[in-house]
Structure 1
Amino acid sequence: MTLEEKQQEIIDEFAIYDDWMDKYQYIIDLGESAPMIDESKKTDDRLIDGCQAKVWLDAKIENGLMVLTADSNSSITKGIIGLLIRLYDNEKPEDIVKSDLHFISEIGLQEHLSPTRANGLVSMVKKIKILALSAIPK
């Protein structure tokens, strides 16, 4: 499945819900099913700066693809990073770096987050793209 197809799948899933309380619950549920970072990797160097909650992100390259795991001490934030992992896990670093995340505005996510959570979302995307950029062979 391409990045574009994954984004469309997320957009379609969120379209099922009319109420943002239901969408928040769906985000929380997504966080519970996201690939969890190993407890030993919850280190300060894996914390994402700019997030109100603690968010740990681990990235490695396997067979030329980014493999991502994460966790957060906030259920909504865990769901948000879970959405990003769902999109970017097992993708080529080059594709991650050049991707356009239009699904965020199409589902209305950023406008329904508090300013601090919206800033955290931006920080999460930025960190993933930085890790992907550093993984591209020079």
Structure 2
Amino acid sequence: MSLPTDAHTALETFNGALSWEQRARLLMQWGDRLPPISDDEKTDEHLVDGCESKVWLVGDVIDGHWQFRAASDARLIRGLVALLLARVNGLSLQALQQVDLVEWFTQLGLSRQLSSSRSNGLNAVLQKMRQIAS
């Protein structure tokens, strides 16, 4: 399966990081680059259930390809969500259904740093994306 451009960029960037400290810094930087969502969009309807931190998710389909935007009150989570968006933005519904979260974060070298609660939260975000898309 072909990866979106941002996903290739993420893989190159994170695979170039030699230490966890470098990856952690990169994670924060990716989170800071999340496209903003407006305060009007930070509603219960857009809130992802199953995350310990608050995560809001908005999705639009453009020419059959999904574009998601998200926000979180937690900096580390913003970075992880930004990396998830890099992986899924631009995908069709069918491709979105096939995204493997664990494999993606393993490829980035971040899976060992994902606690089970963070992993569950990211799974909840991915499920919400699929729900919005279908």
Q: Structure 1 residues 99, 116: closer, same or farther in 2, change over 3 A?
A: closer
| CA positional deviation for 1:100 | 3.4
**Aligned counterpart, 2:47:** 47
Structure 2 match to 1:105: 106
Aligned to 1:87: 87
1:34 corresponds to 2:30: no
Give the letter for the 2:17 counterpart. Y
**Aligned residue type for 1:127:** K
Alignment TM-score, normalising by the size of structure 2? 0.86
Q: Distance in 2 between matches of 1:98 and 1:106?
A: 16
| Structure 1 gap ranges (5+) | none
Are the counterparts in 1 of residues 60 and 68 from structure 2 also a CA contact under 8 Å?
yes
Query: What secondary structure does 2:58 align onto?
Result: strand
Identify if the C-alpha distance between structure 1 residues 4 and 61 changes in structure 2 by more than 3 Å, giving closer, same or farther: closer
* Aligned equivalents of 1:65, 1:120: Cα separation in 2: 24
8 Å contact kept, 1:46–1:58: yes
Q: Where does structure 2 lack aligned partners over 5 or more consecutive residues?
A: none
Structure 2: which amino acid aligns with 1:27? Answer: L
Which has the higher mean CA deviation after the structures are superposed, 89-98 or 35-44? 89-98
Q: What is the Cα-based RMSD across aligned positions, in Å?
A: 1.9
Q: Distance in 1 between matches of 2:114 and 2:27?
A: 12
How far did 1:33 drift?
A: 0.7
Deviations 1:41-71 (A, max 9, x none): 1001111111111000001212222121110
The match for 2:118 is 117
Q: Indicate the larger mover: 5-14 or 76-85.
A: 5-14
Kept in 2: contact 1:42–1:56 (CA 8 A): yes
Most deviating of 5-14 and 84-93: 5-14
Matched residue, 1:17: 17
